[in-house]
Amino acid sequence: MKKTVLSLFVLASMATFVSCKDDATKTTEANETVVASLEATTYKIDKANSIVDWKGSKPGTTHTGTIQFMDGEAIVTDGKLEGGTFVFDMSTITVTDLKAGDGKEDLEMHLKGTGEKAKEDHFFNTGKYPKGSFEVTAVTEENGKSMITGNLTLKEISKSITVPAMITSDETSMTIKSEPFMINRTEWNVNYASKSVFDDLKDKFVEDNIELTVNVKVLK
């Protein structure tokens, strides 16, 4: 039975910010969705064993954290990944390098745009944009690695990116682990304290690039 893979994420979010935009994964316009073949099998995400790791930085400081998945599925044909839709819950943005009471809660609210000092322009504005998604549109092989192309959607903006990953599978499951990769957050209108968007920030800026590592396990 044919099945159209719906738009999704993943992401983002998110990971190591670096200063050079050229280090970010190249983006293009979002691609068409995948139509699964008649022989395809749908695998459901194992949320307990799937996570997005992020790393971001500003002058003198680097922070790390995670984002959890909300839903997801992979389309598998003859043991190979053909397509898929993965949705992450932006309200689960967590900071892992700080402890409770040491600024952890404040930074998490700042990234989400929640709390008493909430502002819509604070990073991901999760009240308005609670979900992100990644939709697999193509999978190719290059130098022994799987190159996964898909539409990354954040704040309702979709861009196509290609990410190197290792894919392993057995009779009942498949694991997809990306290599660390970077995105330029401003391409998804995440502009807070970006020196490429705002002038006169001096040393009060946050790097544009975010490093992400995506780990997904799906079950047959």
- For the segment 4-37, what is each residue's pLDDT rounded down to a tens digit? 333 333 333 333 333 344 589 999 988 887 777 7
Three-state DSSP at 107 gives helix
pLDDT of 134 strictly over 80: yes
Q: Which residues contact 165 (CB under 8 A, 6 or more apart)?
A: 145, 146, 147, 148, 176, 177, 178, 179, 214
Distance CA 37, CA 77 (A): 8
Distance CA 83, CA 115 (A): 37
Q: For the CA atoms of 83, 186, 66, 112, what is the dihedral angle to 10 degrees?
A: -120
So where are the chain's domains?
21-219
- For the segment 90-112, what is each residue's pLDDT rounded down to a tens digit? 999 999 999 999 999 999 999 99
Angle at 198 between CA 197 and CA 202, to 5 degrees: 125
By CB atoms closer than 10 A (0-12, 13-18, 19+), residue 208 is buried
Distance CA 179, CA 166 (A): 8
To the nearest whole number, what is the mean pLDDT of the chain?
88
The CA distances from residue 121 to 110, 113, 161, 173, in Å, are 10, 7, 24, 40
- For the segment 45-59, what is each residue's pLDDT rounded down to a tens digit? 999 999 999 999 999
pTM: 0.86
Q: Which CATH architecture has domain 21-219?
A: Beta Barrel (2.40)
